[in-house]
Amino acid sequence: MRDPEPRPSRRSLWWLLGPPVLFCVAVVPANRVEPWVLGMPFLVFWLLLATLLSPVCVWLAARGDPVWKAHRR
Amino acid sequence: MSIAIVALFLVAACVLGIRAARGQDKVDLAAWSVGGRSLGLLMTLVLMAGETYTTFSYLGAAGWSYTHGVSALYVVAYLSIGMAASYVVGPLLWSYAHRHGLHNITDIAAHRFGAPWLGVVLTVAATVFLLPYVQLQITGMGTVVASVSYGAVGLGLSYLVAFAVSEVFVLASGLRGSAWVSVLKDVTVVVTLAVVFVFVPLHFFGGYGAMFAQIGAERAAWLTMPGPGSSTYGLAWFLSTALLNGAVYSVIPTTVAGFLGAASPQTLRRNALLLPLYQVLLFVPVILGLAATLVVPGLKDSNLALFEMLGTALPEWLFGLVGAAGALSAIVPMAVFMLAIGTMWSRSVLGLHERTRGRQRQLAQVVTLVAGGLALGMTYVFPNALVRLSVISYEGLAQLLPLVVIALVWRRMSLSGGVAGLVAGLLVVVVLMATGNDPWGGVNAGAIGLVLNLLVAAAVSLARPGSAPDGRLAAPEPVPARSGTEEDHR
């Protein structure tokens, strides 16, 4: 548009696909009771891990995002 | 004793809500509907956490896992996916609405296409899909209060209290008041869930290991999908629902109210980063629902699973606190649902005429009251009608996605394309639902509808492309690449 300069790339936003991959792709092989991890059946453990990794994915997206960096105080 | 604690918290909620109105602009609609677009990170977080953690989380999630097993965790899956997506979608909607002084999805879409009638259509559709949620909160509150008072307070009275309390603070102070009541709610919810999560395994099973071991030995079918004795909620359903609801999350009018209330797009990005952690809490009712299959087996109403189990064992005061958390989980989301309905009707329907334009705030408040009253009345008269409709609420709201979000980034999307897609998507959802085919072949009907919706919208738009001027598209966010001359977005 009226931006004369090339816009900095926001390629790191691909990390936002992390949660759908964790929950919707990886869950297929994770749909099992064995092995038990930390006292939890495997599927419950996996979904808990995915829940904890989701913010990490968003953080990775933000970390490389020029828009995020520009507004960071 | 326990019911007195619930009453105390409800009074506190009213006081907090009314106090939040002090110093607020009394005329401006935005001050009420989107908190003056000034909520900071903490208030935005608390409000949006408060919106996602409804009575469904307390009663429904435990009831779901009690009946169908761990597929109940689809809630966590879609919220995590939706919140990640909100890193992009939240700032997009915020910037567009901020630039043009818009208040929710209906006036955003109407503005994008320069078509006020589209706002009317979307308002009617969104209301039909949101009212059931208001009613679900009312009935949820009834269940909580009736169980916590050990049956002393009847359902009818509890329904009325839920309506009255949420109307009091939402009419007084709008979104900002809801955020303040969310503070009380979130603290109560976090504390009680933590306590209960320690108490139940120790009291009934002697520890976590023992609890899971017994569940594994006697309820193994509950621990994977599709769960016990049914194939309805299998993997395909889990995947399609997580993706669909995750995509819809950002256009649910209550989520959008939260987005637009934020002080800056950066607040929303920080929110997208922190909010997913809150979802860990949802594991508590799901796991406790599994435990309840052993403690209180054979319940007729699975929504009672959590409270039936706790009622037999917790000391009264603690049971009262759990009840207070449950009651607050009903009234906060309910208030924001009603506020969103009021805002949409005022902005996109009733306040369009030049003679009513100056009264948008009063109109929004009147509709907020009427919508709540309607849901309350339906609860008494046709308790099942709206609940049946709520099954397709998310699937129906999903069909608004192209017109509200994709339109802002796709210049050539035409009004006829968007509307054709909407009609196609809604038809698929309604027909599959009415013929008992949801899920269809294991896949969520809303997801099938949305795919068709997108295909139709794309095909029609490509055949006869529209062309939106720059002002009707989301502007790329300014990136001050090198410090210096660029204007700051805030």
The string of pLDDT tens digits covering residues B395-419 is: 899 999 999 999 999 988 999 999 9
**Residue contact A23–B85, C-beta within 8 A:** no
pLDDT above 70 (res B453): yes
Check CB contact under 8 Å for A54 and B83.
Answer: yes
- Same-domain status, B235 and B190: yes
| Chain A residues within an 8 Å CB radius of B246 | 19-20
pLDDT for B176: 87
Residue of B nearest to A15 (CA): B84
Q: Is the pLDDT of residue B23 over 80?
A: no
For the cut 90, the answer to whether the pLDDT of residue B459 exceeds it is: yes
Q: What is the pLDDT of residue B140?
A: 86
Assess A8–B contact: CB distance below 8 Å, yes or no.
Answer: yes
Rounded to the nearest integer, the mean pLDDT of chain B is 87
The answer, yes or no, to whether residue B118 has pLDDT greater than 60, is yes
Chain B contact for A36, CB < 8 A?
yes
Question: Is B487 inside any structural domain?
Answer: no
CB-CB under 8 Å, A16 with B481: no
Compare all CA atoms of chain B with the CA of A57 and give the residue at the minimum distance.
Answer: B84
* CA–CA distance, B69 with B238 (Å, rounded to integer): 12
Give the whole-angstrom CA distance, residue B292 versus residue B53: 21
B385: CATH = 1.20.1730.10
Yes or no, beta carbons of B216 and A33 under 8 Å apart: yes
Residues 307-366 of B with CB under 8 A from A: none
Is there a single domain that holds both residue B91 and residue B198?
yes
Whole-number pLDDT of residue B100 = 92
DSSP B474: P
Which range of B154-158, B231-235, B373-377, B477-481 scores highest in mean pLDDT? It is B373-377
> Is the CB of B226 inside 8 Å of chain A's CB atoms?
no
Residue B388 is predicted with a pLDDT of 65
pLDDT given at position B485: 40
Q: Does A51 touch chain B (CB under 8 A)?
A: yes
**How far off is chain A from B408, nearest CA to CA, in Å?**
15
Partners of B475 on chain A (C-beta within 8 Å) are 1
pLDDT at B220: 84
A26-35 pLDDT, tens digit per residue, is: 888 988 888 8
Question: How far is the C-alpha of B332 from the C-alpha of B180, rounded, in Å?
Answer: 10
Q: A2: burial class by Cβ within 10 Å (0-12, 13-18, 19+)?
A: exposed
pLDDT at B230 over 90: no
Residue B486 covered by a domain: no
- Does residue B384 surpass a pLDDT of 80? no
Last residue of a domain, one of B390, B419, B449: B390
Contacts of A38 in chain B (CB under 8 A): none
Task: Give percent of chain B with pLDDT exceeding 70.
Answer: 96
Tell me how far apart the terminal alpha carbons of chain B are, to the nearest angstrom.
Answer: 50
CB contact under 8 A, A13 and B87: yes
Question: What's the total number of domains in chain B?
Answer: 2
- CA distance to partner chain A, nearest, from residue B217 (Å): 11
pLDDT at residue B78 is higher than 50:
yes
Measured CA to CA, the distance from residue A60 to residue B84 in angstroms comes to 11
| pLDDT average, residue stretch B4-10 | 89
Confidence of residue B455 (pLDDT cuts 50, 70, 90): very high
> Where on the phi/psi map is residue B154: left (φ > 0), alpha (ψ -120 to 50), or beta?
beta
Range among A2-6, B28-32, B200-204 rated most confident: B200-204
Give the per-residue pLDDT at B484. 41
Question: What's the pLDDT at B389?
Answer: 67
Half-sphere exposure of A54 (CA within 13 A, CB side): 36
Tokens of B42: 């903490």
B positions 362-421 inside 8 Å of A (CB): none
Whether residue B296 sits in one domain with residue B236: yes
- pLDDT category at B110 given cuts 50, 70, 90 is very high
The reply to whether residue B481 touches residue A40, judged by beta carbons under 8 angstroms, is: no
Burial (CB < 10 A; 0-12, 13-18, 19+), residue A38, is: exposed
* Interchain contact A38–B (C-beta under 8 A): no
Among A7, A20, A59, the residue with its CB nearest the CB of B273 is A59
Distance from CA of A32 to the nearest CA of B (A): 6
Q: What are phi and psi of B430, to 5 degrees?
A: -65, -45
Contact between chains at B212 and A24 (C-beta distance less than 8 A)? no
- The pLDDT score that the predictor gives to residue B34 is 86
Task: Please report the pLDDT score of residue B95 as a whole number.
Answer: 92
Which residue from B88, B277, B479 is facing A13, i.e. has the nearest CB?
Answer: B88
What's residue B423's pLDDT? 95
Same domain, yes or no, for B98 and B246?
Answer: yes
Whether the per-residue pLDDT at B488 is higher than 70: the answer is no
The number of residues in chain A equals 73
Q: Count chain A–chain B contacts defined by CB atoms under 8 A.
A: 130
Residue of A3, A11, A23, A32 to mutate for B, most B C-beta atoms under 10 A: A23
Q: Report the pLDDT value the prediction gives residue B354, as an integer from 0 to 100.
A: 81
* Nearest CB partner across the interface for B87, out of A48, A61, A70: A61
Pair B253, B271 in one domain: yes
Mutation pick from A3, A52, A57, A71 vs chain B, by most beta carbons of B within 10 Å, is A71
- In terms of domains, do B111 and B128 share one? yes
For chain A, domain boundaries:
13-71
Residue in chain B nearest A26 by alpha carbon: B239
- Summarised one tens digit per residue, pLDDT across range B34-73 is 888 888 898 888 888 888 888 777 788 888 899 888 988 9
pLDDT at position A27: 86
Largest CA distance in chain B: 69
B5, amino acid identity: I
- Looking at beta carbons, which residues of chain A come within 8 Å of B447? none
- Using the 3D structure, point to which of B362, B390, B418 is the last residue of a domain: B390
Which of residues A54 and A7 earns the better pLDDT score?
Answer: A54
> Residue B418 in contact with residue B115, Cβ under 8 Å?
no
Q: Are residues B455 and B319 in the same domain?
A: no
Residue type, A16: L
Same domain, B319 and B408: no
Task: Determine the structural domain holding residue B234 and report its residue range.
Answer: 2-390
**Domain identity same for B127 and B187:** yes
Query: Within an 8 Å CB–CB cutoff, is residue B481 touching chain A?
Result: yes
Looking at CA atoms only, how far is residue A5 from chain B in angstroms?
A: 10
Residue A9 near chain B (CB below 8 Å): no
Contact predicate B301/B141, CB 8 Å: no
Q: In this complex, do A51 and B266 lie within 8 Å of one another by their Cβ atoms? A: no
Write the residue in B83, B209, B224 that is nearest to A43 by C-beta.
Answer: B224
The Cα–Cα gap between B398 and B293 comes to 33
Q: Would you call B277 an interface residue with chain A, using a CB distance cutoff of 8 Å?
A: yes
Q: Which residue of B has its CA nearest to A41?
A: B223
| Record: contact B223-A55, CB cut-off 8 A | no
CB contact under 8 A, A33 and B238: no
Asked if residue B253 and residue B386 are part of one domain, the reply reads yes
Same-domain check for residues B381 and B399: no
Give the model's pLDDT for residue B487. Answer: 43
Instruction: Report the pLDDT averaged over residues B426-441.
Output: 87
CA–CA separation, B484 and B490 (whole Å)? 15
State the ipTM, two decimals: 0.91
Claim to verify: residue B281 and residue B342 sit in the same structural domain: yes
- Of B390, B423, B451, the one marking the end of a domain is B390
Question: Is position B108 within any domain?
Answer: yes
